[in-house]
């Protein structure tokens, strides 16, 4: 990813929260979820440590109301990024400024939020 300048959108929400929904998944799907979750965090940690560019997203194609996989829960990706080793201010950057960068040359012009620290 570093060599090819590829952006990672880890979608940690799916792996971290999906394992909590055993009763909502078929046995085969739950087994696959457990296997994916087993390696997902380690891969994300490695990417952060190596300096891979990241953006945050959830990959929620559907919403399951009343669960952690419902629309409106995307903000937890910031927490997962920090828990996985990303600096807090970096997590804010990847949650905001890096999203348009994932579109490459097709990215629309985007503004900047500036303030005094």
In tens, the pLDDT along 17-34 reads: 888 888 888 999 999 999
Residues 86-96 as b/e (b if ≥16 CB within 10 A, e otherwise) read beeeebeebbe
Q: Mind listing the pLDDT tens digit for each residue in 59-100?
A: 776 676 766 666 777 788 899 999 999 999 999 999 888 888
Residues 4-27: what's their mean pLDDT? Answer: 88
Has residue 114 been placed in a domain? Answer: no
**Is residue 14 in a domain?**
yes
State the pLDDT at residue 105: 77
Any domain includes 26: yes
- 26: number of Cβ within 10 Å: 8
Residues constituting the chain: 117
Q: For Cα atoms 32, 76, 106, give the angle at the middle one, nearest 5 degrees.
A: 85
- What integer is the mean pLDDT of 26-54? 94
Owning domain of residue 38:
8-104
**Is residue 43 included in any domain, yes or no?**
yes
Judged by average pLDDT, the poorest of 5-9, 12-16, 112-116 is 112-116
Query: Does residue 111 form part of some domain?
Result: no
Asked if residue 117 is part of any domain, the answer here is: no
Model confidence at 57, in pLDDT bands (50, 70, 90)? Answer: confident
pLDDT for 110 equals 58
Residue 42 domain-assigned?
yes
For residue 1, pLDDT beyond 80: yes
pLDDT, residue 13, reads 85
Say how many domains are in the chain. 1
């Amino acid at each position: 990813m570093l060599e090819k300048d590829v952006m990672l959108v880890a979608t940690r929400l799916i792996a971290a929260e999906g394992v909590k929904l055993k009763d909502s998944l078929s046995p085969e799907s739950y087994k696959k979820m457990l296997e994916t979750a087993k390696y997902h965090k380690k891969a994300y940690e490695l990417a952060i440590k190596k300096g891979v560019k990241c953006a945050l997203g959830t990959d929620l194609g559907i919403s399951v109301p009343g669960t952690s996989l419902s629309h409106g829960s995307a903000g937890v990706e910031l927490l997962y990024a920090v828990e996985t080793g990303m600096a807090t201010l970096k997590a804010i950057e990847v949650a905001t400024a890096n999203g348009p960068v994932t579109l490459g040359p097709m990215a629309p012009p985007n503004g900047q939020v500036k303030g005094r620290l």
